[in-house]
Amino acid sequence: MNIIRSARFGASTLIPKNCWSVVRSISSTELTKLEVNDKTGIAVLTLNRPPVNSLNLELLTDIRNSIKDAESNKCRGLILTSSSNSVFSAGLDFLEMYQPKEERLKSFWTALQSTWMTLYGSKIPTAAAINGHAPAGGCLLATSCEYRVMLPKFTIGLNETLIGIVAPNWFMNSYLNVLPRRVAELALTQGKMFTTAEAQQVGLVDDVVNTKEEAIAKCEEFIGLFKKINPYARALTKQQFRINHLQELEQNREQDLQAFIAAITNPSTQAAMGAYLENLKKRSK
Ligand SMILES: CCCCCCCCCC/C=C\CC(=O)SCCNC(=O)CCNC(=O)[C@H](O)C(C)(C)COP(=O)(O)OP(=O)(O)OC[C@H]1O[C@@H](n2cnc3c(N)ncnc32)[C@H](O)[C@@H]1OP(=O)(O)O
């Protein structure tokens, strides 16, 4: 019998393969659902933190655990998507950063660093089915993947300067891994949110389709490209492209954390964030 061991069902829980329907849950929490298609071996990770999948400590932790579960279950690839019809992820949860408690703020940023390193450095092929808006941290998740497909009439980009904050190096590096330097610099300094059409034009997304189902199918097609490629050779090649960015953060994690805490707790950042949040709340009424 072909057995899959699911880390989050407990080390001793064995799930018999073939006793399940084609799509099988590997692990799920209140905030994430990780399902694998038994025929293709490709896993779909659905973010499910209504209303906007803002990334708080718990969601970031669940995303990281899910990526690790997909890897340890030897999935052939991982697709990130959202349970919302209009938002992929609204980025970092402002409530983690506005008037924060220091210990929680530290855990939050440390979880973001770990999640990014796990996703950006994952050995398996990764793809994002962007079925809604993807500002800031939402864009970071998407650009950390190897392939992106997006639905029309949404927006994506690193808008940090609009909020009065500075995207850290590793946010920028994820952008630069996808965009030409000049486009990335102009976009980052303006805090530009690209429409789907603009994002495709500059190469921020690879394809545009009309439905979430088509987006997942496109991601599967992308991951299928590696069917005949030796996974070890593929993973090492990907690693060589990304190792400098990963090492840069790994070697400066504490410094990066302290820079984040100093920037976020600065009274002028708090004031800018407070005003931005106020505006967001007014708009949503
Ligand atoms: C040199 C190095 C130094 C290091 C310095 C480090 C500095 C920090 C770097 C990293 C910082 C930030 C990265 C981020 O990710 S910040 C988050 C940026 N996100 C945004 O700007 C998105 C804001 N949201 C929107 O634009 C819209 O909500 C939407 C995503 C387009 C969706 O629109 P919608 O109409 O569908 O929904 P809406 O009514 O606006 O929102 C519904 C409720 O959700 C609340 N909300 C939205 N976004 C967030 C969020 N990111 N965090 C928390 N809450 C959010 C919104 O306020 C509504 O709430 P309510 O119903 O009014 O209570």
Q: Is 234 exposed, middle or buried (0-12, 13-18, 19+ CB in 10 A)?
A: middle
pLDDT at 8: 39
| Length of the chain in terms of residues written | 285
pLDDT beneath 50, residues of the chain = 1-20
Instruction: Tell me how far the alpha carbon of residue 9 lies from the centroid of ligand 1, in angstroms.
Output: 32
Instruction: Report d(CA 259, CA 185) in Å as an integer.
Output: 21
- Number of structural domains, the chain? 1
Ligand 1 contact via 133 beta carbon (within 6 Å): yes
Q: Does a structural domain hold residue 256?
A: yes
Ligand 1 contact via 159 beta carbon (within 6 Å): yes
Q: Does a structural domain hold residue 7?
A: no
pLDDT at 163: 87
Cβ-Cβ contacts under 8 Å for 133 (sequence gap 6 or more): 86, 87, 88, 90, 154, 155, 156
Q: Is 92 considered catalytic here?
A: yes
Instruction: Report d(CA 227, CA 223) in Å as an integer.
Output: 8
Q: Does a structural domain hold residue 11?
A: no
Q: Does a structural domain hold residue 219?
A: yes
Protein residue whose Cα sits closest to atom 48 of ligand 1: 90
The string of pLDDT tens digits covering residues 10-32 is: 333 344 444 445 999 998 999 99
Instruction: Report d(CA 232, CA 245) in Å as an integer.
Output: 20
Q: Is 14 considered catalytic here?
A: no
The string of pLDDT tens digits covering residues 133-153 is: 999 999 999 999 999 999 999
Contact 144, 116 (CB under 8 A): yes
Instruction: Report d(CA 100, CA 165) in Å as an integer.
Output: 16
| Closest alpha carbon to 33 in 88, 80, 68 | 80
Q: Does a structural domain hold residue 17?
A: no
Measured over the CA atoms of residue 178, residue 182, residue 188 and residue 193, the dihedral's sign is negative
Give, rounded to a whole angstrom, the gap between the first and last alpha carbons of the chain: 55
Phi, psi of 79 (to 5 degrees): -115, 130
**Which atom of ligand 1 is found nearest the CA of 263?**
5
Q: Kindly state the tokens that stand for 8.
A: 């989050």
The b-or-e profile of 4-38 (16+ CB within 10 A means b, else e) is bebebeeeeeebeeeeeeeebebbbbebbbbbbbe
Instruction: Tell me how far the alpha carbon of residue 40 lies from the centroid of ligand 1, in angstroms.
Output: 35
Whole-model pTM: value is 0.93
What is the residue whose two structure tokens read 């590696």? Answer: 226
Residue range(s) defining the domain that contains residue 51: 24-284
Q: Does a structural domain hold residue 9?
A: no
Q: Is 157 considered catalytic here?
A: no
Instruction: Tell me how far the alpha carbon of residue 111 lies from the centroid of ligand 1, in angstroms.
Output: 18
DSSP 92: B
ipTM of the assembly? 0.97
107 by DSSP, 3-state: which? Answer: helix
pLDDT at 21: 57
Pocket test for ligand 1, best of 151, 280, 283 (most atoms within 8 A of CB): 280
**Which atom of ligand 1 is found nearest the CA of 280?**
57
CATH number of residue 213's parent domain: 3.90.226.10
Q: Does a structural domain hold residue 258?
A: yes
Number of neighbouring beta carbons within 10 Å of residue 117: 20
Q: Does a structural domain hold residue 10?
A: no
